[in-house]
Amino acid sequence: MADNTLSSTEAIQVHDLHKSFGTHHVLKGVSLTAHEGDVVAIIGGSGSGKSTMLRCINFLETPSSGVISIAGEAVAMRPDGSPADRRQLERIRQSLGMVFQSFNLWTHRTVLENLIEVPVHVMKCPRDVAIERARKLLARVGLAEKEGAYPAFMSGGQQQRAAIARALCMEPKAMLFDEPTSALDPELVGEVLQVIKGLADEGRTMILVTHEMKFAREVATHVIYLHNGLIEEQGPPDQLFGAPKSDRLKQFLKSVA
Ligand code: ADP
Ligand code: MG
């Protein structure tokens, strides 16, 4: 494969990422590449640094050092890791749709208002265009009937699907999911996973932190096992789940089975 083909398809690249909180060295040199259409699943025990890693990718946390590139463009960083170019950062943030564990919808706005807020007021998209796109995406996540609803009157699964649609409204280059189903009642997990699976099937680039191992095995193209701020093992899902090499990973998989 020609080199230019390879680099043009790198949607997200993280190189030697370190992050400390005070003296607590949380990420100790983590690298990953997600090519276009890849679904990278990040698994690991509580406190291993999964959320911190995801949050560093869109600079919700300031990395201590390392390089983050989105679609081949490295985010300009000062020596202390803080972003050097606010405009570039805003542009890059808007190209990454983030979905959190807690649904983070604006509670005093209807679902439709939640979806069009950033496109209209930040990205200056014409209101009617934003509404049309929002309605399509609501239909896509099975919430066509809910555009006028307030989040408090919806189930957790519906709220999370609305949050996914809201992220998609920004037409992101890639999606970042941080344990999107871990706050849900068990009976609501499936409907959210189904939406995420649909996005994977249509070739969306995603990084997904999850404790749903079966789901990770099914949708991921690549799995990373994080332990103590380092990648302990990584590989294709069948290898990582079916034939883990590291004792720590074996232990971990047993503990979550
Ligand atoms: P995970 O998502 O894998 O459970 P996190 O990335 O949330 O792990 O946290 C990794 C470590 O970093 C934990 O020890 C956590 O306490 C610490 N940490 C995370 N965020 C902060 C913060 N804002 N300030 C201080 N410590 C933090
Ligand atoms: Mg976390």
For 159-213, the pLDDT digits (tens) are: 999 999 999 999 999 999 999 999 999 999 999 999 999 999 999 999 999 999 9
Residue 135: what are its φ and ψ, rounded to 5°?
Answer: -65, -40
Residue 210, pLDDT score:
96
Q: Cα(163)–Cα(245) distance, rounded to whole angstroms? A: 37
Owning domain of residue 24: 10-256
pTM of the model: 0.94
89 CA distance to ligand 1 middle (Å): 23
Distance in Å, CA 55 to ligand 2 centroid: 10
Residue 135 within any structural domain of the chain: yes
The predicted pLDDT at position 2 comes to 42
Residue nearest to atom 16 of ligand 1 (CA): 47
Tokens 């034939």 belong to 243
Whether residue 183 is contained in a domain is answered as yes
Q: Is residue 190 domain-resident?
A: yes
Pocket test for ligand 1, best of 30, 50, 52, 209 (most atoms within 8 A of CB): 52
Task: Compute the average pLDDT of residues 71-86.
Answer: 89
Is 44's C-beta closer than 6 angstroms to any atom of ligand 1? yes
Closest atom of ligand 1 relative to the 229 alpha carbon: 10
Q: What is the structure's pLDDT at 129? A: 97
* Cβ atoms of residues 83 and 59 within 8 Å: yes
Counting residues of the chain whose pLDDT is more than 70, the rounded percentage is 97
**How far is Cα 206 from Cα 255, in angstroms, rounded to an integer?**
26
Ligand 1 center–CA 149 separation, angstroms? 34
For residue 4, is it within any domain? no
Residue 214: which CATH number? 3.40.50.300
> What confidence tier does 1 reach under pLDDT thresholds 50, 70, 90?
very low
Give yes or no for residue 48 CB within 6 A of ligand 1.
Answer: yes
* C-alpha of residue 47 to centroid of ligand 1, in Å: 6
What phi and psi values does residue 58 have, to the nearest 5 degrees?
-110, 20
Residue 237: count other Cβ atoms within 10 Å of its Cβ.
Answer: 18
Kindly give the number of the ligand 1 atom that is closest to the alpha carbon of 226: 3
- pLDDT for position 257: 81
pLDDT tens string 10-24: 999 999 999 999 999
- Please indicate, yes or no, if residue 84 is contained in any of the structural domains: yes
Q: Tell me the C-alpha to C-alpha distance, in Å, between residue 30 and each of 9, 26, 135, 220, 241.
A: 20, 10, 38, 19, 21
Q: Provide CB contacts within 8 A for 112, sequence distance 6+.
A: 131, 134, 135, 138, 147, 148
Does residue 155 sit within a domain?
A: yes
